Every structure is written in structure tokens, then in C-alpha cells.
Amino acid sequence: MGRRRRKVVKVVKRKLPEFFLCPRCGKNTVKVSIDRRHEVAVVVCGACGLKGEFPLSSLSEPVDIYCSFVDQFYARPRTR
């Protein structure tokens, strides 16, 4: 009699993106730069130039800063 073999299931771990979606222009060009020495995070869109600067806490990750950036963008009134 033959033995039955178990199937090996590979678990693929997903990585966080390096570039995020811009709330103004809709392109995937927003980059979050973290400067831990000065405790500041800078968010910049490479396409339209939208920019934001946020204070950094000890547990902040780029995705957290990006969420704060999007929240701040939608919170302010639009002027055209």
C-alpha cells in the first residue's frame, strides 16, 4: 500500500504598499517619508504635489500617517 502525502500549503504574507493612492488626483503616487530623529512624517504626492506634514509618535507606521493625511484632506472645505 502506498502512503498518502499531505499537500504543502504556502502562506503568502502580504506586504504594506510603498506608494498610496492620492485623494486629489487619484494616482498611486503618494509617498510617506518618516524622520524619526526629528519626529516628523512628510507625505507627498509625486503627481500633483499635494503635501502634508504630521507629528510622529513612537508607534506610527506609514499606513497610519497616510490615513491621517487622507482624513485631513477630506475634513477641510474645498475651494475651487
* pTM strictly above 0.85: no
Residues with Cβ within 8 Å of residue 68, at least 6 apart in sequence? 54
More confident residue, 30 or 60: 30
- In this prediction, residues 27-48 reach a mean pLDDT of 93
CATH class of 19-75: mainly beta
Query: Which stretches does DSSP call E strand in the chain?
Result: 19-20, 30-35, 40-45, 51-55
Mean pLDDT of the chain: 89
pLDDT at 78: 67
DSSP type of residue 38: T
Q: Where are the domains of the chain?
A: 19-75
Closest CA to 30 of 16, 53, 47, 14: 47
Position 55 scores a pLDDT of 93
Amino acid type, 50: L
Residues facing residue 32 across a β-bridge: 43
